Amino acid sequence: MKTTHDLCSFVCGLFVLQTVSSAPEVSPLPVECYNPPGDSCHWYHECLEVVYPCQESVDDYGVRYAEKYCTLFTKNSPFFSNKGKEWINATRKCLQAALVPLFRQHMTLTCKEIKTIAFESHAECYVRPSPTVSFCDIVQDWLTIFWTTKQAFVDSTLSSLKLLNEVMRRCTQRLIG
Ligand SMILES: *[C@@H]1O[C@H](CO)[C@@H](O)[C@H](O)[C@H]1NC(C)=O
C-alpha cells in the first residue's frame, strides 16, 4: 500500500511538473500581428483578441469599439476625398501599430489598462497618422468623419467628445505653432 502511494506521488509529481511546465505555451501570432499592414480591420480579432481576450469584458476595446469604427470608416471611405482616404488608411495602421508593444507584456495587462493605453494613442494617430497626412488638413472630410463616428456613438459619447476636443487642440497648436 505504501509503495503504491509512493509510486503515485512520484509519478503524479512528474505528471504535474510536466503539465505545469508545458502550460504557458501560447501559439505564436502570425507575423502581420507584429507589423500590421493596416489594410484590414480583422487585426483586432485575429491579433489583439487572441492575446487579450477582452471581448466579453465591460472594458472591451478591440472588438466592440476599435473594430466597429474601423469597419465604419472603411465602409464610408468612398465618400471621402483622396486625401481623406489616405488619412483613413494611415490612421487604421497607426492605431493598430500603437498596440503592438502590448504583445511583449505577456498578458499581464487588464482589459481596462488596454483600453486606456489605446485611447491615449488616439489623438496622435488622428492628428498625424503618417508624415504625409493629418486630420487637421482634411477639412473637406470633417463632416463625413463626424457623420461616420455618429453612427457608432452608442457607448463612449463622452470619450469621443474628449477625443475630438484633444484633436482640435492639437490642430490649433499646429496652426499657430
Ligand atoms: C487605402 O487602402 C486600400 C486598401 O488597402 C487601397 O485599395 C487604397 O488604394 C488606399 N487608398 C489610399 C488613398 O491610400
For residue 77, what are the domain limits? 26-176
pLDDT, position 5: 56
Residue 32 inside a domain? The answer is: yes
Dihedral over alpha carbons 143, 148, 149, 153 (to 10 degrees): 120
Residue 12 inside a domain? The answer is: no
pLDDT, position 64: 78
Ligand 1 pocket member 37 (CB < 6 A): no
Residue 16 inside a domain? The answer is: no
DSSP 66-87: IIHHHHHHHHHGGGS-HHHHHH
Residues 92-119 pLDDT 10s? 999 999 999 998 866 688 999 988 888 8
Ligand 1 pocket member 137 (CB < 6 A): no
Residue 97 inside a domain? The answer is: yes
Residue 3 inside a domain? The answer is: no
Residue 11 inside a domain? The answer is: no
CA-nearest of 111, 119, 113 to 52 is: 111
Report how many domains make up the chain. Answer: 1
Confidence of residue 177 (pLDDT cuts 50, 70, 90): low
Asked if pLDDT for residue 16 goes beyond 70, the answer is no
| Ligand 1 centroid to residue 89 C-alpha, Å | 6
Give dist(CA 145, CA 138) in Å, integer.
10
Residue 55, all three cell numbers: 471581448
Residue 136 inside a domain? The answer is: yes
Residues 38-77 pLDDT 10s? 999 999 999 999 989 998 888 888 887 899 899 999 999 9
pLDDT, position 122: 87
Q: What residue type is assigned to position 95 of the chain?
A: L
CA-nearest of 131, 123, 130 to 173 is: 123
Residue 1 inside a domain? The answer is: no
